[in-house]
Amino acid sequence: MTDDEIRAIVFQTLKTIAPELEESDLQPDRLLRDQVDLDSMDWLNFLVALHQRLKVEIPEADYRKLTTLNTVVAYLASKGV
């Protein structure tokens, strides 16, 4: 999967959690949680949805790597999705 394909899936997944989100509002290198209203339950649901869609395991210890849209895409790419 290309980075652009992963990015599209990440964005779609995020939008299921935060339907008010527009792609143009999201700066890919800024902290997601500063730009999108996500509580810890939303965040967990976001990761669970990515896990189910992309069949990728995301250990809790890796959460700190997942801060921006870019880092989430890079992390998933490194997992070989």
Q: Is 60 in the site for other proteins (CB under 8 A)?
A: yes
CA count, 13 A, side-chain hemisphere, 6: 20
Instruction: Pick the closer one to other proteins by CB: 3 or 34.
Output: 34
Q: Is 20 in the site for other proteins (CB under 8 A)?
A: yes
For the bound state, the minimum distance from the C-beta of residue 12 to other proteins, rounded and expressed in Å, comes to 15
Q: Is 22 in the site for other proteins (CB under 8 A)?
A: no
Secondary structure in 3-state letters for 54-70: HCCCCCHHHHHHCCEHH
Interface ranges with other proteins (CB under 8 A)? 18-20, 37, 39-41, 44-45, 47-48, 51-52, 57-61
